[in-house]
Chain A
Amino acid sequence: MPNMDMPSGALVLLILRVLRSGTLHGYAIAQRIHCLSSEVLKIEEGALYPALQRILLNGWATAEWGISETNRKVRFYRLTPAGRKQLESQLADYERVHGAIQSVLRTA
């Protein structure tokens, strides 16, 4: 399985994006990203939890206790309005940079 190194800013963007569809616990976030990226992106615990702590600290998501599919108490993350706003601005930034890189790649 290819193990892509990912800049931590991008990881935050992906987490916020998957959280927009609904509340998820940590493992599910990793799984969702893994699936949606056609199993290209594999999120390690060592990257996931620091990123989640940063998101909590910045108030982009809140954590609440819930019961997992395996009947275990676990933390679910819910996007806050501030997180939504952050996601939009990050997405816009990303689009702009991505577009710029694409145009360079295409024309140069």
Chain B
Amino acid sequence: MKNLLRRLRYLLNRRRFDQELANEMEFHREMAAREGNQNFGNTLRLREEARDEWGWLWIDNLLQDLRYAVRLLRHSPGFTLTAIAMLALGIGINVAAFGYFNLLVLRPLPVRDPASLLQFERASPGNFADNFAYPEVAFYAEHSKTLSAVLANSVGRLTVGPEEEPMNTSFLTANFFSELGAVPKLGRLLSPALDDAPGAAPVVVLGYGTWRSRFGADPSIVGKTILLNKKPATIVGVLSDGFSGLGLEPPALSVPIVQIPYFEAGQDLSAFSEKSINVQMWGRLRSGFTPAIAEQELASLAAQLHLQHPKDVWEKETLPSRPGGFAITVRAEMYPVLALASALCILILVAACVTLGGLLLARGVAREREFSIRSAVGAGRGRLIRQLLTESLLLAFLGLLAGLLAAYLALRGLILWADLPAWLNPMPDGRVILFASAIGVAAVILFALTPAWHVARQRYRTTTMRQILIAAQVATSCVLLIVSGLLIRALNQAMSTSPGFEYQRVIALDPGPGAASPKEARAYLDTLRARLANLPGIVSMSMASNPPLGNRWTVFKTRLDGKAVNIHFNNVDPLFFQTMSIPVLRGRALARGDKREIVVSESLARAQWPGENPIGKQFSDGKDIVVGVVGNARLVSPEDSDAVEAYRLAQDDLLPSMVVLVRTAGPAEPLVPAIAAISKSIDPRRFPEIHLLRISFNQKVAQARNTALTVSVLGAVALLLACLGIVGLVTYAVSQRTKEIGIRMALGAQPSQVLSVVLRQFASPIVIGLLVGIGGAAALSQILRGQLYGLSNFDPAAYTGAVLAFAIASGLAALLPARRALLVDPMLALRYE
């Protein structure tokens, strides 16, 4: 230990100690000379040997190598910039992807003590829900000993002032903000003392964004009264900008949960059963308890509550928990997608590194003379490799910095562009930097080790290594290019073909919550439809439980013909197919009185009963009987061309959640105000939402376009990397064979012969790489098919397109530098060396 301290002292005072040593040896020399001993050694070397005892010689060597490497890189800025750009690309894409994952999944939310927060769900054998009835949560809050606080949030919508469009509102337990350590920007937040009392005044806390956008950042807003759902409420405060809430979006409006009945007539806080107010539940673990103990306690509390409410609290109900302090919790079904995304990112890194490795190898030739001299004056192979690695490390370090910067900018851009909440901080944290460093080290190993080995051994004339590099590079780039081609084709195909239903002239009207019983709902819907029928320009009207292109769907995942398929279920009324212009191909449409009868889409029928008449067949384990086949209509996700549909007749119990669909004769827009006025005049407590399907459809198209854009950028990056690599290697081949080319030209070789000499060696590795790439892409698309619907198994256009693009680009990349071979002056070439 003392020894180490002394060593450190030597390191820190190196200059002084070195000076002393020099002095001392000088004195020794003087004395020796005085006695007639003239045997002078190399002073510097002797001093270095003595210094070696301190154990820091490697630092001197490293600094020396670094200085040399910096000088070298500064001398060839073109190579340096290319190399750094390539590394920045390969590392940046990985770091950005990891940074995004880190931001949403790994990094705890910026709330007080996120580690002790748990989010609860309900489960019992055969049942599962992520929502609780409010009284159930209140019971746990009152009786739990393992949780120091129970938080609840019920998501709803309230209109603000005279405006039509309601805003997302969180109905919160009053302890929500204080438990999470939120601070107000203005005024106060909700407080258990003031806002939980029965008969407390109705108050609202504005989200920071709401305050800015809706209230013009009015600094004197606190204390003002606004109308929420036409009911007065006092603004008591504004949340600060940095508060995240317990999800991705901080609440726009926050209202105490006890005020729900005040704002929404007919709601009952104490109700269990179907009239209950549904909330999400979080708990803060009291210190000293584990989540498992809390789950046990809550399960026994649930059993007690089950005795009082046998219908509403399930038998053997348990409350499984998961960490509550994170924006997104990764579930097992997300693993394959994550693995796939990582694989694609790593593939890009590999492509970048292989390309750079080729360039480094090519540079070796230019430094052939330098390395011969170095080994001639006594540098060992290890020393040469060390120096080459130092140069590569310097490159990797610069590339890492550039990659971190690029990743930071990309994330920042993404947060702005995708309108993600402002509390997400794209600044790389320790975890991201660690990850980036690991990626950097992997990159160095990938791109630097083998070239360094070959250059140092002066064996870079062997072509095998180069050919393997080319083949690997072509293969990785080819995989990326083909897969992106497949994705783009799949998306384009899905979006350009008709979705199979009328969307240009259909308006969806969602009455929103309000009706408690099917009877009430029926009365409302009947009045609504009767009044709408009087509007001129309406052709047809229908109802569905899941509105087309809306935000509600019922999906059943299954495998048909070995393909992963989503079956979209919808509960509709008999006029649905007519209103949506979906043709009935066989059998009949649904009719009043149907119970077990089901109508399936053409694709579903064909996949389920190939070559047979589907009418009369049983479906869903015999629960349903097929009575009709209709045309394919991708009502929920037009980008998923593999999706199939099945329709049941909506029964009465679904009436409270039905959406009304209206098809117009002409353009739909002019009718919107009239429809809105009618829907509101029937029941003033309701706040219906109106959507034009045309606009929803265009939004879906835009989303698909963005995905396609991202993927094509990846593909283009891969192609660019491959071309850069080929340019580098051909340049290298030309410079290496200058003399040979000169001789051939002096002897009268034709330009085409010269070109073929230079390029012939690249032909077979490119072909092998292409074959491997096609095979890899086929394998990868098999995996992709399980995750991304609509990807076709073998899409000749995507494959040939990618291979053609690759052939043309790589041909150009090879020919441009190869032309230099033709410009070789035989006389100069012969004199060369």
Contact = CB atoms under 8 A, between A and B. Distances in A.
A57 B31 contact: no
Interface stretch (A42-50, A84-92, A94-102): A42-50
Given A45-B41, A45-B46, A59-B3, A54 B53 contact: yes
A25 B25 contact: no
Interface string A35-75: 00000000011101110111011110000000010101111
Contacts of A53: 21, 50-51, 53-54
Contacts of B31: 27, 70
Nearest to A55: B53
Contact of A50 (B2, B10, B24, B49): B49
A38 B621 CA distance: 108
A50 B50 contact: yes
Interface residues of B, number: 26
Contacts of B6: 56-57, 59
Interface string B38-51: 00010000110111
Contacts of A68: 27
A30 interface: yes
Nearest to A82: B2
A79 B626 CA distance: 103
Contacts of B53: 50, 53-54, 57
Contacts of B47: 49
A56 B2 CA distance: 12
Contacts of A75: 20, 23-24
Contacts of A59: 2-3, 6
B52 interface: yes
B662 to A, nearest CB: 91
Main secondary structure of the interface of B (DSSP, over half): helix
Instruction: Bin the interface of chain A by size.
Output: 20 to 34
Contacts of B457: none
Contacts of B27: 25-27, 68, 72, 74
B32 interface: yes
Interface in A11-39: 25-27, 30
Nearest to B5: A59
A44 B29 CA distance: 11
B28 interface: yes
A75 B26 CA distance: 12
Contacts of A26: 24-25, 27-28
B7 interface: yes
Q: Which residue of A27, A44, A48 has the most chain B CB atoms within 10 A of its CB atom?
A: A27
A48 B49 CA distance: 10
Contacts of B29: 45
B264 to A, nearest CB: 81
A46 B54 contact: no
A57 B7 contact: yes
B10 A45 contact: no
A44 B28 CA distance: 10
Nearest to B2: A59
Interface in B47-103: 47, 49-54
Given A49-B50, A50-B49, A57-B53, A27 B28 contact: yes
Contact of B3 (A30, A45, A58): A58
Given A54-B53, A57-B7, A45 B28 contact: yes
B3 A27 contact: no
A75 B46 CA distance: 18
Contact of B46 (A49, A52, A56, A73): A49
Given A26-B27, A74-B23, 6 more contacts: A27-B28, A45-B29, A45-B46, A50-B52, A59-B2, A72-B27
Interface of A: 25-27, 30, 44-46, 48-50, 52-54, 56-59, 68, 70, 72-75
- Closest 3 A-B residue pairs measured CB to CB? A53-B53, A49-B50, A27-B31
Interface of B: 2-3, 6-7, 10, 20-21, 23-25, 27-32, 34, 41, 46-47, 49-54
